[in-house]
Amino acid sequence: MRRIVFCDFDGTITVEETFVAVLKKFAPELSAKLLPEMYARRLTLRQGVRQILESIPSSRYTEILEFTQTQPIRPGFVELLDFLEFQGVPLVVVSGGLQGMVETVLDRLVERVHAIHAVDVETNGSHLKVLSQYEGGTELIAKVEVMSQYPAYQKIAIGDSLTDLNMALQASVIFARDRLAEYLDEQKKPYIRWDNFSQIRDYLANLWK
Stretch that binds Mg ion, among 37-45, 142-150, 160-168, 187-195 (CB under 5 A): 160-168
By beta-carbon proximity to Mg ion, the closer residue of 45 and 109 is 45
| Angstrom distance (rounded) from CA 198 to CA 190 | 20
For Mg ion, the binding residue among 156, 160, 174, 181 (CB under 5 A) is 160
Q: Establish if 10 lies at the interface with Mg ion (CB under 5 A).
A: yes
Stretch that binds Mg ion, among 4-12, 103-111, 128-136, 186-194 (CB under 5 A): 4-12
By beta-carbon proximity to Mg ion, the closer residue of 17 and 202 is 17
Stretch that binds Mg ion, among 35-43, 65-73, 126-134, 152-160 (CB under 5 A): 152-160
| Angstrom distance (rounded) from CA 9 to CA 12 | 5
Element housing 135 (H / E):
none
Size of the site for Mg ion (CB under 5 A): 6
Q: Establish if 97 lies at the interface with Mg ion (CB under 5 A).
A: no
Name the burial class of residue 59, with classes exposed (0-12), middle (13-18) and buried (19+) by CB atoms within 10 angstroms of its CB.
Answer: exposed
Q: Find the angle CA(76)-CA(112)-CA(140) to the nearest 5 degrees.
A: 90
The secondary structure of the chain in percent helix, strand, coil, rounded to multiples of 5, reads 50, 20, 30
Interface positions with Mg ion (CB under 5 A): 8, 10-12, 160-161
